[in-house]
Amino acid sequence: MVKMMSVCAMGAVAAAGCSCDRAAKDFGTTKYGEAAHLYVLEGKGGLKMEVTDYGGRVNRLWVPDAKGELVDVTIGFDSPAGWETTDSYFGAIIGRYGNRIANGTFTLEGKTYTLAQNDADHHANLHGGKRGWDGYVWDAKPFTKGDDVGIVFSRVSPDGEEGFPGTVKATVTYTITPENVWRIEYEGTTDKTTPLNMTQHVYFNLDGSDTILDQELQIAASKYSPVNADLAPVGPAADVAGTPFDFRTFQVIGARIDDPDTVLQYGPGYDHNWVLDGAGFRKVAEMRGKTRAMEVWTDQIGLQFYAGNFIKDSWKMKDARPMKRRGYLALETQHFPNTPNRPDFPTTNLKPGETYRTVTEYRFKTR
């Protein structure tokens, strides 16, 4: 709070085009000893986000329905300790590598790299390692551009961080538009070839209820990636037709989530990569609650639909709200899991001189 007053008084943030309510508020200290802050981005259409520079995590996301009633549709906490004692990825920027690298190892340009197997149950490196990009306080710059409001997060990931090669300079820009779109633009450069597969691990429950099982989902994908018990893709992509992975038309999420299908049971439940149809920036998915809906648009080729199977009923979130297994889901746009070990998958390698760029939008609407 003190920081908010002083930032406004000094005009430092205001000079960059930000109003006082988007100046930083203190949000305590992370377990790594860094000071975290909260920012509020309020769109002209009613969509409103509270976000922290600690991993770029979305902490609150208020979405209006047709009556203008705002519901906070995401998981968040009252302090950094909330993530540190539950699942650190809730709402966070994920890097360098979204999802799993099998056995925490890969070979690149003839050299073998060994990463932490921080997802021990699945013998994998998950979401960047022990201290992934979610574990850092990022440089944060709120902005206003026409009718849009937003924030630019940036950080430099040093050569060798978590075992990955090359210094990566990463920028992630969140923009809230008057049409109630949350746009996420990712950019990265490197000085040595490295795998880079960034994503955002926000969770949604469009009713703000304690289950997503009665909400509906559609995914424009004719194929998905079958996995083994370690949740690593095996073999080529498989047809969704005739399986519980077929979301080409709207399906109630809970209808088939406990189907005995072996690959689904490895989740257990949905925790898989969908190979998205089409190419370029396009609509790839839509989620429907009772009075709110959300479209997912992206230029990415894959979508990890994770149904919150590992969320524990005992975890507590902000405002003493309950958290339940399968109470929230994540729709993570990215390249396919374990690509560094799958030369048959579209590459995730970024080379010096190239710029990694990808865009995803979550577009909220009423129904």
Quick check: 304 binds ligand BGC (CB under 6 A)?
yes
Instruction: Look up 272 and say whether it is catalytic.
Output: no
Q: Closest distance between ligand BGC and the C-beta of residue 302, in Å?
A: 11
Quick check: 164 binds ligand BGC (CB under 6 A)?
no
Phi, psi (degrees; rounded to nearest 5) at 106: -160, 160
CA distance 113 to 107: 6
Q: Which stretch binds ligand BGC (CB under 6 A): 74-82, 101-109, 158-166, 304-312?
A: 304-312
Among 65, 286, 332, 361, binds ligand BGC (CB under 6 A): 332
Check: CB of residue 148 under 8 Å from CB of residue 177.
Answer: yes
H helices of the chain, in order, are 2-10, 12-15, 81-84, 262-265
Residue type, 235: G
Q: Which stretch binds ligand BGC (CB under 6 A): 106-114, 145-153, 303-311, 314-322?
A: 303-311
- In the structure encoding, which two tokens stand for residue 50, read together? 């509270």
Among 310, 318, 325, 359, binds ligand BGC (CB under 6 A): 310
CA distance 92 to 33: 18
Nearer to ligand BGC, 212 or 231 (CB): 231
Q: Which of 150, 185, 186 is nearest to 48 (CA)?
A: 150
The three-point CA angle 57-87-308 to 5° equals 95
Catalytic residue (one of 37, 201, 272, 335): 201
Quick check: 134 binds ligand BGC (CB under 6 A)?
no
Instruction: Look up 201 and say whether it is catalytic.
Output: yes
CA distances from 158 to 100, 138, 168, 202 (A): 21, 14, 6, 25
Q: Closest distance between ligand BGC and the C-beta of residue 98, in Å?
A: 7
Q: Closest distance between ligand BGC and the C-beta of residue 123, in Å?
A: 13
Helices and strands (H and E) in the chain: how many: 4, 28
CA distance 182 to 184: 7
Q: Closest distance between ligand BGC and the C-beta of residue 306, in Å?
A: 4
Quick check: 334 binds ligand BGC (CB under 6 A)?
no
Task: Give how many residues touch ligand BGC by CB under 6 A.
Answer: 9
Among 74, 86, 99, 358, binds ligand BGC (CB under 6 A): 99
Q: Is 263 helix (H, G, I), strand (E, B) or coil?
A: helix
Q: Which residues, 215 to 274, sit near ligand BGC by CB under 6 A?
A: 231, 271
Nearer to ligand BGC, 281 or 310 (CB): 310
Kindly report whether the peptide bond that precedes residue 268 is cis, defined as omega within 30 degrees of 0. yes
Q: Which residues are catalytic?
A: 201, 332
> What residue ranges bind ligand BGC (CB under 6 A)?
87, 89, 99, 231, 271, 304, 306, 310, 332
